[in-house]
Structure 1
Amino acid sequence: MNHHALRANACLATLALAAAGAAHAADFKAGEWDLSLGGIVNAYYTHTRCSGSRAVGGTALATQALGCGGTEGRTVVGNGLLPNALTTTAKTRQEGYDISATLMIGAAVAAGDAISNNSNVDVRQGFVTFGNADMGTVKLGRDYGLFGKSAILGDMTLLGAGAPVSATQRNRVTLGHIGSGYTYLGTYGQVAYSLPTSSGFSATVALMSPVDAGSLIGRNQPQLQALATASFGGGKVWLGAKHQKFEGTGGFSMSGVELGGSVAVRTLGFAANVQSGKGLGVLTDGDSGNRKQTNLLLQATWQATPKAKLGLNWGESRLKDGVATDLRSNTNVTAGLYYGLTKSLTLVGEISRTTSKPVAGESARMNGVALGGIVFF
């Protein structure tokens, strides 16, 4: 199962499939360039059932409006947390510099009709890197952010669905623990610099193209993100941060820190991640305004057999302040079975419970099930 997790990481992390080595379906040479082509295809039958309050405000994942797509229950056959994706990477070494270019093009499975997704394209990565072992690496282009990267890569539901929120799965993907454990890492135009890796320590700082949050705009200053990771035998720890100023009436500064770690002890795996700050947003930067927020994710897995992994994780995104109907928290617990039928194909079964609590009043609840599979090539 670790083999599949590495391939999922490769499609979500920088350098895409280049980090997965043997995961490539095709590696070939064109002149002085080494080219790689690979990708992901996945689909899940999901069913959700929503109950409780319909009046929880904000981005309440468990309400009928979001969790069940406007009804008491919803069935979808669509993507899990990962999209379908085709990734191409080209690498070369010229005049002492390692140069790489990556392009990822994705597509969603499900839609509200039988036509619209035929022309939907999801482009998350398009960047170039250059550097060497002495100077480190510079990245230019569009790629995933740093804040939240370690959390989502370590989330077992990366291979599955997690919270199968119908409103996002139709036309895109499910949420895993996005909004109920961590804020989405996002994709940004960026200029990033990574130090040379030394004794298991790596660090990256990046200037991100500033994003808007509703009527508030980020225009004068870039978003800043940073991530440091220290790996050791059987595990790793990480520390991240991000900051951006939103301008306009009611403008504010988004700022957050993140701390997490994971460890493997024989057949058992454990992971924890906490994010804390102001204006982090439930799903994306600043979407909940200038409210203090804490995101927490806890996870335990057991490699029951060489092919079968069992896992249980719990996550919560909790906001402070707000009026009575405003969202106080989204909480999700997911139990999953991940079975490696072959080295390329993983079959997945998950059950989950998502709860959205308001500042005052009754909560909304969503029960979900996801059955399907994911192939890496």
Structure 2
Amino acid sequence: MKKIVMGGLIAATAVAQNASAVDFKAGDWTVGVGGIVNAYYTQVSCSGDAVGGLALATKGLGCGGQDDRSTIGNGLLPNGLVTSASSRIGGYDVKALIGMYNATATDSAISQNSGIDVRQAYFTFGNAEMGTIKLGRDNGLFGAAAIFGDMTLIGAGAPTQATQRGRVTLGHIGAGYSYVGYYGQIAYSSPKTSGVGVDVALVSPVTDTPILTPSLYSTKTSPQLQGQLTWSAGGAKAWLGAKTQKFESATAGVNDFTMSAVEVGASYNEGALGLLVNVQGGKGLGVLSDADQGETTARNYFVQGTYKATEKLKVGLGYGISKNSDNTAGTGGLKSNANVTLGAYYALNSVITLVGEVGQTRSKGFNGGEARMNGAALGGIIFF
């Protein structure tokens, strides 16, 4: 099995918005510096049958090739340093942002840990009348509401060992929702009217990244398109999204196809209670990235409930499942990945949250086989 290279496979984060950044004035500009650091002890145990494809609960992926394994590394978020500069110039609100990210755990105590993921590098301009235009690299629209609303964003979720060493855990990526992805893009966000907003993005097209097998498709002149309609009022939010891209064959005997996917979801937060539900479906959704299973049609379901037991302690339960509709060649025989996570999140102070989670990931094959990964995570995260 190939070594998994999770180049873009880190969960999205709104560090620039959530971190308690240090701001200072420099002429007409407000310059901000902030970031995030986290570490979790994770312990996993894998059992059951061999399941093909991107089966997240198997010994190969879930436990990194072992029956049992432990790691002290990042959770769903990497470590990050985010810098930004904003101003009001010529009637426009302008902003530029660069976010650089790095992993905690590696398989070596002496090798340089110098891999830097410049996941965000963009600028925006706009005002209350025209909305906002964004140019550069940032997270996509499709799947953003699900992953940003996932309680395991500040924890670990599925502590998949094949990705945590050198990168991050998966939360409910591939077992509840598709990864939000980071793309070069030109995007527009409309002003909100009666709580309704529209976001559209022209996205640089991406190739398939099947991880376990060679790439089958290339990108040429057709960009990816993403769009989202949102509504909010009080503690309630709802969203409807879609994305599409043509994948052109680079392999003899493989046909071109067009990825087409839709998403609908809602969340509600009132007092101590928080609820979230999200559904995705379409062709080419993939498990971990766009079209990593080729033109396979899939459906993703994610539900979550949280309760703030005290002023500092929040507990929650989340369940997600990603199901392939047909046993196409791209699935490798994988029928579904599912994950359930029970978590407790304790706010030590305004910047540090201590986290404890337990959960189980299950992968099923079209042949009836089933693999299980039991996992636990304990650690913490700081936003500064």
Q: Normalized against structure 1, the TM-score is what?
A: 0.93
Residue matched to 1:4: none
1:253 aligns with 2:258: yes
Q: Which amino acid aligns with 2:287?
A: V
SS at match of 2:100: strand
Match of 2:72 among 69, 72, 77: 77
Match of 1:269 among 252, 262, 274: 274
Percent of aligned positions that are identical? 56
Residue matched to 1:145: 140
1:99 aligns with 2:99: no
SS at match of 2:344: strand
Residue matched to 1:358: 365
Output the CA distance in 1 between the equivalents of 2:271 and 2:90.
44
Shift of 1:116: 4.2
Match of 2:374 among 343, 361, 367: 367
Pairing 1:229-248 to 2, within 5 Å after superposition: 229-248=230-249
Output the CA distance in 1 between the equivalents of 2:374 and 2:255.
36
Shift of 1:199: 2.5
CA contact (8 A) 2:20 2:351 kept: no
Pairing 1:273-288 to 2, within 5 Å after superposition: 273-288=278-293
Pairing 1:93-242 to 2, within 5 Å after superposition: 93-116=88-111, 118-213=113-208, 214-242=215-243
Residue matched to 2:351: 344
Q: Report which of the two has the higher share of helix.
A: 1
SS at match of 2:152: helix
CA contact (8 A) 1:177 1:332 kept: yes
SS at match of 1:153: helix
Output the CA distance in 2 between the equivalents of 1:117 and 1:198.
50
Rate the CA distance shift 1:325–1:129 in 2: closer, same or farther, 3 A: closer
SS at match of 1:347: strand
Residue matched to 1:3: none
CA contact (8 A) 1:164 1:174 kept: yes
Rate the CA distance shift 1:116–1:178 in 2: closer, same or farther, 3 A: farther
Deviates more, 1:264-273 or 1:318-327: 318-327
Deviations 1:107-151 (A, max 9, x none): 100112224452111211000001111111110000000000000
Residue matched to 1:294: 299
Shift of 1:325: 6.0
SS at match of 1:343: coil
Output the CA distance in 1 between the equivalents of 2:163 and 2:28.
42
Output the CA distance in 1 between the equivalents of 2:286 and 2:154.
24
Shift of 1:219: 1.4
Rate the CA distance shift 1:325–1:246 in 2: closer, same or farther, 3 A: closer
1:305 aligns with 2:310: yes
Output the CA distance in 1 between the equivalents of 2:183 and 2:268.
30
SS at match of 1:335: strand
Output the CA distance in 1 between the equivalents of 2:279 and 2:21.
36
Output the CA distance in 1 between the equivalents of 2:369 and 2:111.
36
SS at match of 1:168: helix
Match of 1:31 among 24, 27, 34: 27
Output the CA distance in 1 between the equivalents of 2:112 and 2:297.
37
Shift of 1:293: 0.5
CA contact (8 A) 1:110 1:117 kept: no
Output the CA distance in 2 between the equivalents of 1:117 and 1:280.
35
Output the CA distance in 2 between the equivalents of 1:231 and 1:77.
38
Q: Which amino acid aligns with 1:31?
A: G
SS at match of 1:118: coil
SS at match of 1:348: strand
1:328 aligns with 2:329: no
SS at match of 2:217: coil
CA contact (8 A) 2:106 2:113 kept: no
Q: Normalized against structure 2, the TM-score is what?
A: 0.92
Output the CA distance in 2 between the equivalents of 1:26 and 1:220.
42
Q: Which amino acid aligns with 1:283?
A: L
Segments of 5+ residues of structure 1 without an aligned counterpart are 1-10
Match of 1:49 among 40, 45, 52: 45
Output the CA distance in 1 between the equivalents of 2:275 and 2:21.
31
Rate the CA distance shift 1:129–1:57 in 2: closer, same or farther, 3 A: same
